Structure 1
Amino acid sequence: MRLDKFLAESSIGSRKNVRIYIKEGSVKVNGQVITEPAIDINENVDVIEYFDKLVIHPGKVYYMFHKPAGCITARKDEVNKTVIDYFNEVDMNGVFHVGRLDKDTEGLLLFTNDGDFEHHLMCPQKHVEKKYFFIALGSLTEDDVNKLEKGLSIGKDEPLTKPAKINIIRNGTYKEFEKEMDIKKFYNIDSNRYNQPVVSGYLIISEGRKHQVKRMLKAVGCYVIYLKRVSIGGLTLDETLKKGQYRTLVEEEIQMLLKDL
């Protein structure tokens, strides 16, 4: 493992900062000052010190989190509750979220201190699929579905979206959905608009642009009122996790994600 990566994963600082610490001569490997950040070390054998204090690598960790709506994907915030605030029982120093979900979006969010794992999942060239369940005001025609599946424009000076996959679960009216799904908790309209069309389904994308699912559906005339990420690659959200709960990924799940890449 590279020395700068080892120190960053051990919560000494960001990869950028630990490179500065190393070049300033603040780090020793087996008693010798090392000033080259890219040097390879054996994290299981070599003795690493920062300002003469032993640095212990925590090992790699991987968490699945069921994100509730209303919290933001960040480490800290002066106003809003963050996803990190839910991790009260584990040390989250050096652990970061893999990608992000909007404040009002629920579902699967991963956390790790493994930079390579995060890079593989988020790298655009890897085309890792993310599956979302949505409820939206509006309706989707066959032409709309074709546009979503072939790629469409969602912003000026942006390239077309990559081809997506969509599976419409049902079309109906707000009144019909309200009875079945209690969608009033997501979006409440005046009773004289109860016949407004509503559509639900799954959208699978392989990109991660800002507000992408909402913008794609808006481009075909639909306004998302509920959004939940249900899977990343071959990993599906564990529905035994209540909103705000998390668990460690098992080895099979980690390997499955890496295999998908």
Structure 2
Amino acid sequence: MGQVRLDKLLADAGYGTRSQVRQLVRKKHVTINGEPAKGPEQKIDVDKDQIFCEGKPVFYAAYEYYMLNKPAGVVSAVTDNRDKTVVELIEDRQRRDLFPVGRLDKDTEGLLLITNDGILANRLLTPGRHVEKTYYAEVDGPVTQMDIKLFAEGLDIGEERRTLPAVLIVEESGNACSKVQLTITEGKFHQVKRMFQAVGRRVTFLKRLTMGSLTLDEALAPGEYRKLTEGEILALKKQGLST
């Protein structure tokens, strides 16, 4: 992984701002391989050196990847003045530069990738790559074969271009409520809700199940999260390169 400045390493690991961690170093609260750190600019070999801050080991992670089952009522943001954010739910994060990859509406639940890997995020979110995202939705009223055909052809949701073809699967259709799965390859603002609105339906519940190769872990309750496995990270990176 190479060498990193000590003040950057500590700041990235959440020990404070650059100026705050410099004070920790100057006050001899940081040791490198058992010796007091020489200065905030000291270069650290993150693969070999053992760093302690105030007697506790410092673990440096260049990148972190978390799968979150987003609950309703939480906003897809890093900071917010009114509501709790998805990043705040990741309590054991080591990095302070995490962000959600894409957005889910405040009332939408389900799969959200939280990371600080900007290159991967850009690859997954770039419109031209058409990364598939599957949602489970409950809508008022019946969903018909005609609706399936219209979704497959693309819908007018009030923008310059129609939506790209989408795959609509009806799990249960009823006069009062229908349960469906919808796979889209775009990420327009409120897209799923606007697509159903275009055919005269209102979404009453929405949950994202997949994003590219990543599938929501059914063991995660709303608000729970886990780190991605090495296999999941590798598959996402391959997805970003191949799409």
Superposition TM-score, scaled by structure 1 size:
0.69
Match for residue 253 of structure 1?
A: 232
Instruction: Verify: 1:105 aligned to 2:108, yes or no.
Output: yes
Provide the C-alpha distance between the structure 2 equivalents of 1:10 and 1:229, rounded to a whole number of angstroms: 35
Match for residue 202 of structure 1?
A: 181
Amino acid of the residue matched to residue 83 of structure 1? V
Provide the C-alpha distance between the structure 1 equivalents of 2:107 and 2:43, rounded to a whole number of angstroms: 42
Tell me, which stretches of 5 or more residues in structure 2 are unaligned?
2-6, 13-38, 47-59
Provide the C-alpha distance between the structure 2 equivalents of 1:146 and 1:214, rounded to a whole number of angstroms: 17
Shift in Å, 1:53: 6.1
Aligned pairs, number: 195
Contact 1:8 1:94 in 2 (8 A): no
- Which of 130, 150, 154 is the equivalent residue of 1:151? 154
Percent of paired sites with the same residue: 43
Q: Which moved more, 1:54-63 or 1:251-260?
A: 54-63
Shift in Å, 1:259: 2.5
Contact 1:9 1:94 in 2 (8 A): no
Provide the C-alpha distance between the structure 1 equivalents of 2:8 and 2:171, rounded to a whole number of angstroms: 44
- Which of 155, 159, 163 is the equivalent residue of 1:161? 163
Considering only aligned residues, what root-mean-square deviation do their CA atoms show, in Å? 2.4
Contact 1:65 1:245 in 2 (8 A): yes
Match for residue 116 of structure 1?
A: 119
Match for residue 217 of structure 2?
A: 238
Amino acid of the residue matched to residue 106 of structure 2? K
Shift in Å, 1:8: 9.7
- Which of 122, 136, 143 is the equivalent residue of 2:139? 136
Shift in Å, 1:242: 1.4
Superposition TM-score, scaled by structure 2 size:
0.74
Q: How far does the alpha carbon of each residue in 1:28-84 deviate from its partner, in whole angstroms, 9 at most, with x for none?
A: xxxxxxxxxxxxxxxxxxxxxx98465877312111001000111111222111112
Instruction: Verify: 1:76 aligned to 2:79, yes or no.
Output: yes
Q: Write out aligned runs for 1:25-64 (5 A).
A: 52=41, 58-64=61-67
Amino acid of the residue matched to residue 166 of structure 1? L
- Which of 178, 193, 199 is the equivalent residue of 1:214? 193
